[in-house]
Chains A and B, each alone.
Chain A
Amino acid sequence: DSGVTQTPKHLITATGQRVTLRCSPRSGDLSVYWYQQSLDQGLQFLIQYYNGEERAKGNILERFSAQQFPDLHSELNLSSLELGDSALYFCASSGRMFQDTIYFGEGSWLTVV
Protein backbone atom coordinates (compact mmCIF):
# COMPACT_ATOMS: atom_id res chain seq x y z
CA ASP A 1 0.00 0.00 0.00
CA SER A 2 1.57 3.24 -1.21
CA GLY A 3 -0.58 5.44 1.01
CA VAL A 4 -2.01 7.30 -1.97
CA THR A 5 -5.75 6.73 -2.31
CA GLN A 6 -7.64 7.12 -5.54
CA THR A 7 -11.35 6.85 -6.18
CA PRO A 8 -13.14 5.50 -8.07
CA LYS A 9 -11.10 2.48 -9.14
CA HIS A 10 -13.22 1.83 -12.18
CA LEU A 11 -15.55 4.12 -14.09
CA ILE A 12 -17.56 3.62 -17.25
CA THR A 13 -19.23 6.62 -18.80
CA ALA A 14 -20.60 7.82 -22.09
CA THR A 15 -19.08 10.25 -24.56
CA GLY A 16 -19.82 13.85 -23.80
CA GLN A 17 -20.12 13.26 -20.06
CA ARG A 18 -18.06 14.69 -17.21
CA VAL A 19 -16.32 12.76 -14.45
CA THR A 20 -14.29 13.64 -11.38
CA LEU A 21 -11.40 11.56 -10.12
CA ARG A 22 -10.31 12.00 -6.54
CA CYS A 23 -6.95 11.57 -4.89
CA SER A 24 -5.77 11.67 -1.29
CA PRO A 25 -1.98 11.96 -1.05
CA ARG A 26 0.26 10.24 1.47
CA SER A 27 0.17 11.81 4.88
CA GLY A 28 2.50 14.81 4.91
CA ASP A 29 3.05 14.96 1.16
CA LEU A 30 2.43 18.39 -0.30
CA SER A 31 2.92 17.59 -3.99
CA VAL A 32 0.28 15.86 -6.04
CA TYR A 33 0.77 14.77 -9.64
CA TRP A 34 -1.68 13.45 -12.19
CA TYR A 35 -0.67 11.08 -14.98
CA GLN A 36 -2.56 9.46 -17.81
CA GLN A 37 -1.59 6.03 -19.12
CA SER A 38 -3.00 4.89 -22.43
CA LEU A 39 -1.89 2.17 -24.82
CA ASP A 40 -0.84 4.52 -27.58
CA GLN A 41 0.57 7.43 -25.53
CA GLY A 42 2.22 5.61 -22.67
CA LEU A 43 2.54 7.46 -19.35
CA GLN A 44 1.90 11.16 -19.77
CA PHE A 45 2.28 13.80 -17.12
CA LEU A 46 -0.82 15.97 -16.86
CA ILE A 47 -0.42 18.42 -14.01
CA GLN A 48 1.27 19.00 -10.65
CA TYR A 49 0.09 20.81 -7.55
CA TYR A 50 2.15 21.82 -4.56
CA ASN A 51 0.42 22.88 -1.36
CA GLY A 52 -2.65 24.02 -3.21
CA GLU A 53 -0.95 25.82 -6.08
CA GLU A 54 -0.48 24.66 -9.62
CA ARG A 55 3.25 24.13 -10.23
CA ALA A 56 3.62 22.44 -13.59
CA LYS A 57 1.49 21.53 -16.55
CA GLY A 58 2.11 18.76 -19.01
CA ASN A 59 -0.01 17.41 -21.81
CA ILE A 60 -3.32 18.26 -20.21
CA LEU A 61 -6.23 18.96 -22.52
CA GLU A 62 -8.32 22.08 -22.08
CA ARG A 63 -11.29 19.82 -21.36
CA PHE A 64 -9.45 18.61 -18.29
CA SER A 65 -8.91 20.57 -15.11
CA ALA A 66 -7.63 19.87 -11.64
CA GLN A 67 -7.31 21.44 -8.24
CA GLN A 68 -5.78 20.75 -4.87
CA PHE A 69 -7.82 21.61 -1.82
CA PRO A 70 -6.67 22.99 1.56
CA ASP A 71 -6.69 19.48 3.04
CA LEU A 72 -4.30 18.56 0.17
CA HIS A 73 -6.60 16.14 -1.58
CA SER A 74 -6.88 16.69 -5.30
CA GLU A 75 -9.50 16.23 -7.97
CA LEU A 76 -9.10 15.79 -11.70
CA ASN A 77 -12.13 16.82 -13.72
CA LEU A 78 -12.57 15.42 -17.20
CA SER A 79 -15.34 16.91 -19.31
CA SER A 80 -16.82 16.43 -22.79
CA LEU A 81 -15.35 12.97 -22.72
CA GLU A 82 -14.26 11.28 -25.92
CA LEU A 83 -13.49 7.65 -26.65
CA GLY A 84 -9.79 8.51 -26.72
CA ASP A 85 -9.91 9.62 -23.10
CA SER A 86 -10.26 6.01 -22.03
CA ALA A 87 -7.16 5.36 -19.96
CA LEU A 88 -5.72 4.61 -16.56
CA TYR A 89 -5.37 7.82 -14.57
CA PHE A 90 -2.82 7.89 -11.81
CA CYS A 91 -2.42 10.23 -8.94
CA ALA A 92 0.95 10.37 -7.22
CA SER A 93 2.36 12.30 -4.30
CA SER A 94 5.73 13.20 -2.86
CA GLY A 95 7.40 15.18 -0.12
CA ARG A 96 9.33 18.41 -0.49
CA MET A 97 12.82 16.92 -0.77
CA PHE A 98 14.25 16.24 -4.22
CA GLN A 99 15.16 12.67 -3.32
CA ASP A 100 11.72 11.90 -1.95
CA THR A 101 10.05 9.05 -3.71
CA ILE A 102 7.00 9.72 -5.83
CA TYR A 103 4.40 7.18 -4.76
CA PHE A 104 1.49 6.27 -6.98
CA GLY A 105 -2.06 5.38 -6.19
CA GLU A 106 -3.66 2.29 -7.69
CA GLY A 107 -5.14 4.34 -10.49
CA SER A 108 -8.62 5.00 -11.81
CA TRP A 109 -9.60 3.02 -14.88
CA LEU A 110 -11.79 5.20 -17.07
CA THR A 111 -13.70 3.68 -19.96
CA VAL A 112 -15.62 5.99 -22.26
CA VAL A 113 -18.24 4.25 -24.40
Chain B
Amino acid sequence: AQKITQTQPGMFVQEKEAVTLDCTYDTSDQSYGLFWYKQPSSGEMIFLIYQGSYDEQNATEGRYSLNFQKARKSANLVISASQLGDSAMYFCAMREGNYGGSQGNLIFGKGTKLSVKP
Protein backbone atom coordinates (compact mmCIF):
# COMPACT_ATOMS: atom_id res chain seq x y z
CA ALA B 1 0.00 0.00 0.00
CA GLN B 2 1.14 3.50 -0.72
CA LYS B 3 2.32 5.49 2.26
CA ILE B 4 3.85 8.84 3.11
CA THR B 5 5.94 9.29 6.25
CA GLN B 6 6.88 12.60 7.80
CA THR B 7 8.95 11.86 10.88
CA GLN B 8 9.24 15.41 12.22
CA PRO B 9 6.05 16.44 14.04
CA GLY B 10 7.51 19.87 14.75
CA MET B 11 10.56 21.89 13.87
CA PHE B 12 12.04 25.26 14.73
CA VAL B 13 14.20 27.37 12.45
CA GLN B 14 15.77 30.76 12.87
CA GLU B 15 14.58 33.48 10.52
CA LYS B 16 16.73 33.75 7.36
CA GLU B 17 18.16 30.25 7.80
CA ALA B 18 17.41 27.25 5.60
CA VAL B 19 15.40 24.28 6.81
CA THR B 20 14.77 20.77 5.48
CA LEU B 21 11.50 18.96 6.07
CA ASP B 22 11.72 15.21 5.63
CA CYS B 23 9.40 13.02 3.62
CA THR B 24 9.73 9.38 2.68
CA TYR B 25 7.28 7.43 0.60
CA ASP B 26 6.46 3.90 -0.28
CA THR B 27 4.94 2.81 -3.56
CA SER B 28 5.19 0.00 -6.06
CA ASP B 29 4.11 2.27 -8.92
CA GLN B 30 6.73 3.37 -11.41
CA SER B 31 4.81 6.52 -12.22
CA TYR B 32 3.91 8.81 -9.37
CA GLY B 33 4.00 12.42 -8.33
CA LEU B 34 5.10 14.05 -5.11
CA PHE B 35 3.65 17.28 -3.79
CA TRP B 36 4.27 19.60 -0.89
CA TYR B 37 1.55 21.78 0.55
CA LYS B 38 1.60 24.48 3.20
CA GLN B 39 -1.28 24.93 5.62
CA PRO B 40 -1.16 28.12 7.70
CA SER B 41 -3.23 28.48 10.83
CA SER B 42 -6.05 29.98 8.76
CA GLY B 43 -6.59 26.52 7.30
CA GLU B 44 -6.20 26.79 3.55
CA MET B 45 -4.02 24.28 1.73
CA ILE B 46 -1.46 26.02 -0.47
CA PHE B 47 0.44 24.17 -3.20
CA LEU B 48 4.20 24.69 -3.02
CA ILE B 49 6.05 22.32 -5.33
CA TYR B 50 5.73 19.19 -7.46
CA GLN B 51 8.16 16.44 -8.45
CA GLY B 52 7.35 13.72 -10.95
CA SER B 53 8.91 10.29 -10.58
CA TYR B 54 10.51 10.57 -14.02
CA ASP B 55 11.82 14.09 -13.53
CA GLU B 56 15.60 14.03 -13.61
CA GLN B 57 16.07 17.45 -12.11
CA ASN B 58 15.04 18.40 -8.60
CA ALA B 59 12.08 20.76 -8.65
CA THR B 60 12.49 24.35 -7.52
CA GLU B 61 9.94 27.12 -6.95
CA GLY B 62 11.39 30.32 -5.60
CA ARG B 63 12.65 29.65 -2.07
CA TYR B 64 11.35 26.08 -2.18
CA SER B 65 13.27 23.17 -3.58
CA LEU B 66 12.65 19.48 -3.47
CA ASN B 67 15.53 17.13 -2.74
CA PHE B 68 14.36 14.05 -4.62
CA GLN B 69 16.27 10.82 -3.99
CA LYS B 70 14.40 8.14 -5.87
CA ALA B 71 16.47 5.18 -4.71
CA ARG B 72 15.93 6.18 -1.10
CA LYS B 73 12.28 7.05 -1.77
CA SER B 74 12.67 10.43 -0.18
CA ALA B 75 11.35 13.82 -1.25
CA ASN B 76 12.54 16.37 1.27
CA LEU B 77 11.43 19.99 1.07
CA VAL B 78 14.09 22.63 1.50
CA ILE B 79 13.04 26.16 2.37
CA SER B 80 15.79 28.69 1.99
CA ALA B 81 15.99 32.03 3.82
CA SER B 82 13.09 31.26 6.16
CA GLN B 83 10.59 34.02 6.84
CA LEU B 84 8.18 34.48 9.73
CA GLY B 85 5.34 33.84 7.30
CA ASP B 86 6.69 30.35 6.67
CA SER B 87 5.39 29.25 10.08
CA ALA B 88 2.75 26.66 9.20
CA MET B 89 2.02 22.97 8.81
CA TYR B 90 3.69 21.36 5.83
CA PHE B 91 2.31 18.27 4.19
CA CYS B 92 4.02 15.89 1.83
CA ALA B 93 1.67 14.03 -0.49
CA MET B 94 1.89 11.43 -3.22
CA ARG B 95 -0.36 10.97 -6.18
CA GLU B 96 -1.36 7.53 -7.32
CA GLY B 97 -1.05 6.45 -10.90
CA ASN B 98 -3.16 7.35 -13.88
CA TYR B 99 -6.55 5.71 -14.04
CA GLY B 100 -8.12 5.80 -17.47
CA GLY B 101 -7.53 9.46 -18.20
CA SER B 102 -8.46 10.79 -14.79
CA GLN B 103 -5.74 11.30 -12.27
CA GLY B 104 -5.46 9.59 -8.95
CA ASN B 105 -5.99 11.23 -5.63
CA LEU B 106 -3.38 12.35 -3.10
CA ILE B 107 -2.21 10.42 -0.08
CA PHE B 108 -0.91 12.69 2.66
CA GLY B 109 1.64 12.39 5.41
CA LYS B 110 0.79 13.55 8.91
CA GLY B 111 2.57 16.84 8.44
CA THR B 112 5.37 18.84 10.06
CA LYS B 113 4.67 21.97 12.03
CA LEU B 114 7.35 24.54 11.25
CA SER B 115 7.91 27.48 13.54
CA VAL B 116 10.18 30.29 12.41
CA LYS B 117 11.85 32.22 15.22
CA PRO B 118 12.70 35.91 14.81
Contact = CB atoms under 8 A, between A and B. Distances in A.
B43 A98 contact: no
Contacts of B35: 101-102
A10 to B, nearest CB: 10
B57 interface: no
Interface residues of B, number: 27
B103 A96 contact: yes
Contacts of A101: 35, 47, 50
A53 to B, nearest CB: 8
B25 to A, nearest CB: 15
Interface in A52-107: 55-56, 58, 88, 90, 92, 94-107
Interface stretch (B12-20, B65-73, B75-83, B106-114): B106-114
Interface of B: 31, 33, 35, 37, 43-47, 50, 52, 91, 95, 97-108, 110-111
8 nearest A-B pairs in the assembled complex, by CB-CB distance? A50-B102, A104-B45, A43-B108, A106-B44, A45-B105, A55-B102, A48-B105, A98-B98
11 contacts: A30-B102, A90-B45, A98-B52, A98-B95, A98-B97, A99-B52, A100-B103, A102-B47, A102-B106, A104-B46, A106-B44
